[in-house]
Amino acid sequence: MVKTLVTQHKCLQTRSVYHCTSTFLCKQLKDQIVENPNIPVKALQDQFQRKYEVEVSRMKAFRAKTKALDQLHGDYQAQYSVLRDYICELYKTNPGTTVQIEVEPCADHRSVTRKFKRIYVCLGSLKQGFKAIGRELLGLDGAFIKGPYPGQVLSAVGVDPNNGIYPLAYAVVEAETLNSWTWFLQCLGKDLELESNSNFTFISDRQKGIIPALQKVFPCAEHRFCLRHIHENMKLRFKGKEYKDNLWKLATSSTVEYFEQNMQSLKAFNAEAQLWLSDIPPQHWSRSHFSGRALSDVLLNNMCEVFNSRIMDARDKPIITLLEYIREYLMRRIVNVLRVMDNCDGLLTPYAHKKFEEIKLQASRCSVMWNGEDHYQVRGPAGFGVVVDLKSRTCTCRKWEITGMPCKHVVASIWNKNMYGGKGTELPETFVHPVYTMDRWKQVYKYKVYPINGRTLWPKSNVPTTLTPPNHHKPIGRPKKARKRSALELEESTKDGRLTKKGTTKNCLKCGKTGHNRRTCKGQEAS
């Protein structure tokens, strides 16, 4: 029963409502945060104030967004307790998968909890696909994890027949140390059935932990250093374009003799630079010492850099969300490659076809002399002569042996053989190694990554202990989101803290001419 109705209020209106909490705002935000997880806090604050006509502080909007993201991605701490259930689901849906979990040593063996330390994942389909490639080459690298429990994502990435990346295995560890890299390489060796004396090829940066780890686990392996990191270290002492050009000449030398000639030419510029480079064995960074097992002449660890950039958005997520993001990316990537494959035809993959057409163009400028058997003397436009043996599939420039793709000298010899000395016609493409063929490419990607069910349908693990989050000491200050750039990167890209305009051209807004701006223009304003 309404006894008194007051239609006019004289009390002061307030925009502070007690029941407008971050929990209430989180419920209103759920659908929006799914569509746009990166919405700025300031935009949410303005949106709430317009919609509900109440005062919402920035911290209240931030707490609402944090709660919504926790419900979307899962709680950082709670996901460790169901990590073993996630592994059981991976085993169930992706046969042949290898997952290794290592925990911190526990003083009380009767404890029902174990502190998480690191995890290694190698999906069964990727394992089979990498073995089908036939390239004994893997890039190794690590990337930082952000969030309440920071660490590192270690990855092993190969190269597929189309020169694209082929991620093989990944791990979440506490840091890039000798112990973590040794453990990762031991797990990788078991999956690839590599012995300690295997002549596999790895490429990485010169991180302190990975060099002794490789020497310990695979002492006979061929370890290449990424040339970009060598150049970064070199630029600290030796600056100028001459040093960079000479460094790339040294690295791209395909014969020992050519490498020594370029090393002598470097001495003409600076003997100290030659002495600095001599501390790094040539077999770690020069093509002249590469063997033909890897079937690649890569000098950069770009495959790992590409993989790290693809998982950047997941590196601040909880542990299961991070692992699922990587698995879903790998599943989507295989589908994208299959779509490209459907539009391709011919004997070679698109990359190999494009590369081989360039080689053919260079071969048209070569002159060939036949000896009556399988040997040919080939000279290029500059008069540099080599000997090609088509029977043993060798060329003294060694590019055919290193990459598996015939060089310009070999292509010119094949044309000469078909014209004068051969029985029947042999296409130059038939001399390309099978690793570059469409059949091999299709064979690699016939192994698929399979989807998994939601958390409510995961099987329960039989392990009696429960995982808890790893040890973490929270550092002082606000957590960093962006990658720390080196001093040289900042020097090249900025000037006095601002982005440099070096190399860019701008037109004057008055006269339309280059070389000055509107403020310093001497002409008349354009009509």
Q: Which two tokens stand for residue 374?
A: 């399988």
Tell whether 506 is covered by a domain: no
SS3 247: helix
Q: Are residues 320 and 174 in the same domain?
A: yes
Q: Are residues 84 and 99 in the same domain?
A: yes
CA distances from 112 to 81, 109, 208, 281, 463 (A): 12, 8, 36, 51, 10
Tell whether 45 is covered by a domain: yes
Q: Are residues 222 and 146 in the same domain?
A: yes
| Chain centroid, CA 200 distance in Å | 20
Q: Are residues 39 and 79 in the same domain?
A: no
Tell whether 37 is covered by a domain: yes
Q: Which two tokens stand for residue 518?
A: 């509107």
Angle, alpha carbons 314-144-73 (nearest 5°): 25
The structure's pTM equals 0.82
Assess contact for 61 and 41: CB atoms under 8 A. Answer: yes
Full 3-state SS string of 7-64: CCCCCCCCCCCCCCCHHHHHHHHHHHHHHCCCCCHHHHHHHHHHHHCCCCCHHHHHHH
Query: How many Cα atoms are found within 13 Å in the side-chain-facing hemisphere of 248?
Result: 7
Q: Are residues 69 and 55 in the same domain?
A: yes
| Chain centroid, CA 434 distance in Å | 25
Contacts of 422 (CB under 8 A, 6+ apart): none
Q: Are residues 304 and 446 in the same domain?
A: yes
Structural domain of 220: 74-226+300-346+438-471
Assess contact for 199 and 222: CB atoms under 8 A. Answer: yes
Q: Could you tell me which residues are beta bridge partners of residue 223?
A: 202
Q: Are residues 35 and 83 in the same domain?
A: no
Q: Are residues 214 and 96 in the same domain?
A: yes
Strand 394-395 to strand 385-389: parallel, antiparallel, or no bridges (unpaired)? antiparallel
Assess contact for 301 and 164: CB atoms under 8 A. Answer: no
Assess contact for 413 and 369: CB atoms under 8 A. Answer: no
Contacts of 78 (CB under 8 A, 6+ apart): none
- Digitized pLDDT (tens) for each residue of the chain, 527 residues in all: 888 888 887 776 667 777 888 898 888 887 888 778 888 899 988 888 888 888 888 999 999 998 888 887 777 888 999 999 999 999 999 999 999 999 999 888 888 999 999 999 999 999 999 999 999 999 999 999 887 888 999 999 999 999 999 999 999 999 999 999 999 999 999 999 998 888 899 999 888 889 999 999 999 999 999 988 888 877 767 777 777 888 888 888 888 888 888 888 777 767 777 776 777 888 887 888 888 788 888 889 999 999 999 999 888 888 999 999 999 999 999 999 999 999 998 899 999 999 999 999 999 999 999 888 889 999 988 777 899 999 899 999 999 999 999 999 999 999 988 887 656 668 889 999 999 999 999 999 999 999 999 889 999 999 999 999 998 766 677 766 666 766 556 666 665 556 666 667 778 888 888 878 888 888 755 44
Assess contact for 439 and 389: CB atoms under 8 A. Answer: no
